Amino acid sequence: MSFNNLDTLYRQVIMDHYKNPRNRGSLEDESVTIDMNNPTCGDRIELHLQIKDGIVEDAKFEGEGCSISMSSASMMTQAIKGQQVDDAMNMSSIFSKMMLGEDVEDIDLDLGDIEALQGVSKFPARIKCATLAWKAMEKAVANEEQQ
Ligand code: FES
């Protein structure tokens, strides 16, 4: 597939998650909720995670933001649901590397739709948009571990 076709495919994946967000909403008995905003624009995400026995049993999000931040939240919740907390954190560090433009081709975890966001690394102003949901997840896990 040519780079142009790949770009088009990635754009379509991002817009699909933006227009049809997965896991949007709240949880009735969530174990942890984190409110986080992007200080550069004020957009915000409220992330709800249900963590039990070291597993992310459920993940949902609310909030308002640009297509990158909301699609990233949709992809992130989809990716971490059902995962061990350690694997979710591992994905987060891989995603950070991806945003730094590092090559993440050789990793064991299946990133699924998240790969569509790799082009964001070329636009430094948008990296905070893409990492907002992941930072919220990291903070939620840290809070949960303190409880
Ligand atoms: Fe605000 Fe992207 S412009 S999160």
Average pLDDT rounded to a whole number, residues 9-15? 94
Give nearest CA residue, ligand 1 atom 3. Answer: 66
Residue 131 has pLDDT above 70, yes or no: yes
Q: Using the mean position of ligand 1's atoms as its centre, give its distance from the Cα of residue 74 in Å.
A: 15
pLDDT at 103 (0 to 100): 82
Average pLDDT rounded to a whole number, residues 64-87? 96
Length of the chain: 147
Name which of 47, 75, 77 is nearest 61 in CA terms: 47
Provide, rounded to the nearest whole percent, the portion of the chain with pLDDT above 90.
81
Spans of all domains in the chain: 3-146
- Out of 128, 131, 134, 135, mutate this one to test ligand 1's pocket (max ligand atoms within 8 Å of CB): namely 128
CATH architecture, domain defined by 3-146: Alpha-Beta Complex (3.90)
* Burial of 20 per CB tally in 10 Å (0-12, 13-18, 19+): exposed
Name which of 122, 124, 142 is nearest 10 in CA terms: 122
Q: Using the mean position of ligand 1's atoms as its centre, give its distance from the Cα of residue 108 in Å.
A: 30
Average pLDDT rounded to a whole number, residues 29-56? 94
Mean pLDDT, the chain, rounded, equals 92
Query: Ligand 1: does its nearest atom lie under 6 Å from the Cβ of 136?
Result: no
Q: pTM surpassing 0.75? A: yes
Residue 1 has pLDDT above 60, yes or no: no
Say which residue, 25 or 105, is predicted with more confidence: 25
Q: Using the mean position of ligand 1's atoms as its centre, give its distance from the Cα of residue 58 in Å.
A: 25
